[in-house]
A and B are shown apart, each in its own frame.
Chain A
Amino acid sequence: MGAPVTKATNYRVAPEVTRALGLEHGLTDGEYDRVVEHLGRTPTFEELGVFSVMWSEHCSYKSSRVHLGRFPTTGPRVLQGPGENAGGIDIGGGMAAIFKIESHNHPSYIEPYQGAATGVGGILRDVFTMGARPIANMNSLRFGRADHEKTPFLLGGVVAGVGGYGNSVGVATVGGEAHFDAGYDGNILVNAFTLGIVAHDKIFRASAAGIGNPILYVGSKTGRDGIHGASLLASSEFKEESEQMKPTVQVGDPFTENLLIEACLEAMAGDDIVAIQDMGAAGLTSSSVEMASRGGVGICLDLDKIPLRDESVTPYEMLLSESQERMVVVAKQGREDNLREIFERWGLDCVPVGIVTDDGRFRATYRGEEVASIPVDALTDAAPAYNRPIAAPDKPAGEALDLGAIKEPTDLTATLTRLLASPNLCSRAWIHEQYDCYVGANTLVRPGGDAAVVRVRETGGGLAMTTDCNSRYVELDPYIGAQHAMAEAVRNIAVTGGRAAAMSDCLNFGNPEKPEVMWQFSRAIDGMSEACNFFGTPVVSGNVSFYNDTLGASIPPTPVIAMVGLVKDARTTATIAIEKPDQIVVLLGSGEPELNASEYLSVVHGCTGDRPPALDLEAERQLAELCARVIERGHVSTAHDLADGGLAIAIAEMCIAGPGIGCDIDITVADRFDTALFGESGARVLMAIDADGIDSVETEAAELGVAMTRLGSTGGTRLRIAAQGAMLVDAAVNDLHEAWSTALPKIAAGA
Chain B
Amino acid sequence: MKWGVLHFPGSNDERDTIYALESVLGYHARLLWHGDRNLADCDAIVLPGGFSYGDYLRCGALARFSPVMEAVADFAKSGGPVLGICNGFQVLCEAGLLPGALVQNRGLKFRCVPATLTVENNTTAFTLGYEDGAQAVIPIKHGEGCYVADQSTLAEIQDHGQIVFRYTSNPNGSIDDIAGVCNREGNVVGLMPHPEHAVDPLTGVTDGQPLFRSVDQWKQAA
Residues of chain A at the chain B interface (Cβ within 8 Å): 160, 163-164, 167-170, 253-256, 258-259, 346-347, 432-444, 455, 570-571
Question: Given known contacts A438-B194, A439-B13, what 6 new A-B pairs fall within 8 Å (CB)?
Answer: A168-B12, A253-B54, A258-B9, A435-B110, A441-B19, A444-B202
Q: Which residue on chain B has the smallest CB distance to residue A573?
A: B202
Contact, CB under 8 Å: B203 / A167: no
B residues near A440, Cβ cutoff 8 Å: 16
Q: How far is the CB of A711 from chain B (nearest CB, A)?
A: 30
Instruction: Note all chain B residues with C-beta closer than 8 A to A164.
Output: 110
In the complex, chain A residues whose CB is within 8 Å of the CB of B12: 168-170, 258, 439
Determine if B141 and A167 form an interchain contact, defined as CB atoms under 8 angstroms apart: yes
**Please, how many angstroms separate the alpha-carbon atoms of A523 and B43 in the complex?**
64
- What residues make up the interface of B, taking CB atoms closer than 8 Å to A? 9-13, 15-16, 19-20, 49-51, 53-56, 109-113, 139, 141, 143, 194, 196-197, 200, 202-203
Whether B9 lies near A255 (C-beta < 8 A) is yes
Please give the distance in Å from A260's CB to the nearest CB on chain B.
11
Contact A438 B20 (CB under 8 A): no
Asked if B202 contacts A438 (CB within 8 A), the reply is no
A-B pairs with beta carbons under 8 Å apart, 23 shown: A163-B110, A167-B51, A167-B141, A167-B143, A168-B12, A170-B50, A253-B54, A255-B55, A256-B54, A258-B9, A258-B50, A346-B9, A347-B9, A433-B112, A433-B113, A434-B112, A437-B112, A437-B141, A441-B19, A441-B196, A443-B203, A444-B202, A455-B203
Residues of chain A contacted by B203 (CB below 8 angstroms): 438, 441-444, 455
Contact yes or no, B139 A259, CB < 8 A: no
A441-B10 CB under 8 A given contacts A254-B51, A255-B54, A434-B111 = no
Chain B residue numbers with a CB within 8 Å of A432 are 112
Nearest Cβ on chain A to B26's Cβ, whole angstroms: 16
* Residue from A164, A167, A438, A571 having most chain B Cβ neighbours under 10 A: A438
A259→B50 CA distance, assembly (Å):
12
Residues of A within 8 A of B49 (CB): 439
Give bound CA distance, A351 to B111, whole Å.
Answer: 39
Q: Which residue of A lies closest to B33 (CB)?
A: A345
A254 to B56, alpha carbons, bound, how many Å? 11
Contact between A259 and B9 (Cβ–Cβ < 8 Å)? Answer: yes
Report Cα–Cα, A167/B144, bound state, in Å: 12
The residue from A168, A433, A439, A441 contacting B111, defined by CB atoms under 8 A apart: A433
Is A258 a contact partner of B110 (Cβ separation < 8 A)?
A: no
List the A side residues contacting B141 at CB < 8 Å: 167, 436-439
A717 to chain B, nearest CB (A): 21
Complex Cα distance A434/B10, Å?
A: 19
A441 touches B54 (CB 8 A): no
Complex: A439 Cα to B203 Cα, angstroms: 11
Quick one: which of B9, B53, B113, B141 has the most chain A CB within 10 A?
Answer: B141
* A124 CB, min distance to chain B CBs, angstroms: 13
- Chain B, Cβ-Cβ closest to A259: B9
Tell me, rounded to whole Å, the shortest Cβ–Cβ distance linking A204 to chain B: 21
A-chain residues with CB within 8 Å of residue B20 when the two chains form the complex: 441
Q: Let me know if A441 and B16 touch, CB within 8 A.
A: yes
Provide the bound-state CA to CA distance between A347 and B62, in Å: 15
For the complex of A and B, list the 7 residue pairs with the smallest distance between their C-beta atoms, beginning with the closest. Answer: A170-B12, A255-B54, A441-B16, A168-B51, A438-B197, A436-B141, A434-B110
